[in-house]
Amino acid sequence: MANKGMTSFDPSALCQVAIVVRSIDETVKFYTEVFGIGPFEIRQVDFPNATYCGQKAGYRGKRAFAKLGPVTLELIELIEGKTVHEDFLKEKGEGLHHIAFAVKDLKRCEEEAEKLGLKVIQGMKREDGSGFAYLDSDRIGGAMFELIQWQV
Amino acid sequence: MANKGMTSFDPSALCQVAIVVRSIDETVKFYTEVFGIGPFEIRQVDFPNATYCGQKAGYRGKRAFAKLGPVTLELIELIEGKTVHEDFLKEKGEGLHHIAFAVKDLKRCEEEAEKLGLKVIQGMKREDGSGFAYLDSDRIGGAMFELIQWQV
């Protein structure tokens, strides 16, 4: 089937399933002890140049990553700053927040998305073009999609 | 790392990401036209012998399935019957509802889960042992896990 929409988006490039949690430590302990998920890589992220609804809104957060076969599980804990994760936690509580897809050209992908009426709610771009963008794809169907261009 | 918990559970066997939606038709149209996801297989499911919190509670639903690379995207629309999907839609609205893992021995996996304090909220088992079980893993971290033993 021809891709009539975002031609630079590849649906087969699903790379992450992400959960917003209140406590990474508690969730990692549970997932490790009960389900044998892991090892987890736990780290802090700091995105001082991130945007929220088009405005600069840096944030910091705690993250944990583990493999679920071909896909990475990401746990997201808030530290500081205005984020889509905070909005979600306030509105819905802990839970599955987004799925992420690797893209080769984030800027082009964002432009295509916006032409189709999808807004970038939160994003971050480095000078080399790498970064991420959360789309408001949750307006239909309720699921947020993140686009990630990996830093090489 | 030794799996201290459910030894019959394999975290690498992630097979589905599932979204509860109000309208499969509308969501499929959006995902197809904007993201090029598809083709979708749309069908009705009918589980007259399903259980909900240990009680028999059959249900029918509409489903759509498409591949996102190695994982299947499942869209879930309610038709009739008491389900975890209906609970979710009422409490949180549309959105990412669960991730599913293939298991080889559903009965054993359920027994292990229950020994560890996890309840099967909703399930269905055929005479050959195949079927599915939703665990109340969302008590910590907020994400519901489904176990699926495929029918061979």
List, in sequence order, every beta strand (DSSP E) within chain B: 14-20, 41-47, 51-52, 55-56, 59-68, 71-80, 95-102, 120-125, 131-135, 144-149
Cβ count near B69 (within 10 Å): 16
Work out the percent of chain A whose per-residue pLDDT is above 90.
97
Q: What is the pLDDT of residue A51?
A: 97
B115 near A CB under 8 A: no
Identify which of B35, B39, B94 has the shortest CB distance to residue A142: B94
Position A1 scores a pLDDT of 44
* pLDDT of residue A137 exceeding 50: yes
List the Cα angle B29/A8/B100 in 5-degree steps: 55
Residue A96 with chain B: CB contacts under 8 Å: 95-99, 142-143
Determine how many CB atoms are found less than 10 A away from the CB of residue B39.
Answer: 11
What mean pLDDT value characterizes chain A? 96
Partner residue facing A17 (CB), from B33, B93, B99: B99
Q: How many angstroms away from the CA of A2 is the closest CA of chain B?
A: 7
CB contact A26 to B (< 8 Å): yes
Which residues of chain B have a CB within 8 Å of the CB of A37? Answer: 11
Q: What is the mean pLDDT of residues A105-115?
A: 97
- State the pTM of this model: 0.96
Are A14 and B138 within 8 A, CB to CB? no
Nearest to A78 by CA among A70, A86, A67: A86
Contacts of A3 in chain B (CB under 8 A): 36
Residue B123 contacts residue B50 (beta carbons within 8 Å): yes
Q: What's residue B99's pLDDT?
A: 98
Q: Which residues contact A23 (CB under 8 A, 6 or more apart)?
A: A77
**pLDDT tens, residue by residue, A22-78:** 999 999 999 999 999 999 999 999 999 999 999 999 999 999 999 999 999 999 999
What pLDDT is attached to residue B4? 72
* Chain B neighbors of A17, CB-CB under 8 A: 14, 17, 99
Secondary structure (3-state) at B30: helix
List chain B residues with pLDDT less than 70.
1-3
CA-based nearest distance A64→chain B, Å: 12
Contact B70 A20 (CB under 8 A): no
Nearest to A138 among B32, B95, B137 (CB): B95
Q: What percent of chain A has pLDDT over 70?
A: 98
pLDDT in tens, B70-94: 999 999 999 999 999 999 999 999 9
The closest CB to that of B118, out of A32, A34, A137, belongs to A34
Residue B10: what pLDDT?
Answer: 97
Asked if residue B13 lies in contact with residue B102, where contact means CB atoms within 8 angstroms, the answer is yes
Q: What is the pLDDT of residue A75?
A: 98
CA distances from A123 to A21, A24, A77 (A): 20, 22, 17
Q: Which chain A residue is nearest to residue B36, measuring alpha carbons? A: A3
